[in-house]
Amino acid sequence: MEFKHFFPSDILKPYVRHYYIFESDSDAEFEDTVFPSGDMEVIFNLGSGTWESSVDDKFLKTPPIELWGQITKPLAIRSKGRHTMLGIKFFTHSAAYFFNDEIGIFNDQITDFADVVGNPAKTLHARLLETTDQLKRITLIENFLVQRLMDSEKRASGIDRVAHILSSIKKEPAENNLGNIASKYGITPRYLHKLIYRHTGLSPSSFNKIIRFQYSLKLITKNEQPFTTIAYDSGYFDQSHFIRDFKSFTGFTPSAYLQNITPVNQLLQQ
């Protein structure tokens, strides 16, 4: 397995965390679990293999172009065959620039991107399949995103506001300071919740929990500190709070996770 990151051009840096290419030349089947990240993704499948995801306890084949909504709980996936995947990882708020729908409708599911965007997505996928040059593929993706961005100017001011609010939540735990944050932006806590959910698919408290969880996950993967220190450094009230949240996002306790680190999740933590 090989996992490469590519950073966006200057015009797209405020919107795209990174692009990535995942390649696997093994025909071996495997199962894995994807954890909540706080970000949405679009993935173009360019290889001969297939992916399946768990839906109502059944594995269903994912579409050729996958739109990943906000994942708020562990999601089981299964791989078959050889893969080349090109992914776009947006910032928490920034997927809203590129879609007309409210983001929350995509939560905890993998949607066919072509159903959401239409023929432009199918045309892009076909052009990506025509070349194997990685940089040319990134250029095609960027041209597509810039055009979508130009079409979203009317929504930009509201999304920019959400970006600033999310930055404030990172500095102040949302569970305790929603009122303070809402007051800072001249809105009510109820409208704050509605505004963030509309543009991210997450409530303020869910966003805060996922950010805290992701930070703890990186520390656990490094395996350099005791769990009590990781819990404190990640902003948890105590170790039992840390373990409870971690298990809700992964299905494992922290110690069990260390014994069951899977290939895909190990790559994602690099």
Instruction: Give the residue-averaged pLDDT of 184-213.
Output: 92
Q: 7-11, 77-81, 142-146, 172-176: lowest mean pLDDT where?
A: 172-176
Confidence of residue 268 (pLDDT cuts 50, 70, 90): low
What average pLDDT does the structure give for the chain?
A: 90
Residue written as token pair 């805290």: 212
Evaluate whether 86 touches 5 at the Cβ level (below 8 Å).
no
Taking residues 91-105, what's their average pLDDT? 91
83 forms beta bridges with 24
Please state the rounded mean pLDDT for residues 50-56. 92
Q: For the chain, what are the domain ranges?
A: 2-151, 154-202, 206-268
- Cα angle, residue 162 at apex, residues 185 and 241 outer, rounded to 5°: 90
pLDDT value of residue 267 = 56
Interatomic CA distance for residues 86 and 21, integer angstroms: 5
Residues 219-223 have a mean pLDDT of 89
Q: Which CATH architecture has domain 2-151?
A: Sandwich (2.60)
174 has pLDDT over 60: no
Burial class from Cβ neighbours inside 10 Å (0-12, 13-18, 19+) for residue 197 reads buried
pLDDT, residue 264, reads: 61
Confidence (pTM)? 0.91
Give percent above pLDDT 90 in the chain: 68
CA distances (Å), origin 52, targets 78, 181, 268: 5, 40, 18
Architecture of domain 206-268: Orthogonal Bundle (1.10)
pLDDT score at 176? 57
* Residue 191 DSSP SS3: helix
Which pLDDT belongs to residue 265?
60
User: CA torsion angle for 16, 69, 117, 95 (degrees, to 10)?
Assistant: -30
Distance CA 9, CA 177 (A): 35
Tell whether the model's pLDDT for residue 173 goes beyond 70.
Answer: no
Q: Give the relative orientation of helices 204-222 and 156-171 as an angle to the nearest 10 degrees.
A: 60
Closest-CA residue to 149 (of 200, 111, 102, 96):
96
To 10 degrees, what angle do helices 189-200 and 156-171 make? Answer: 110
204-222 and 174-184 helices, crossing angle to 10°: 130
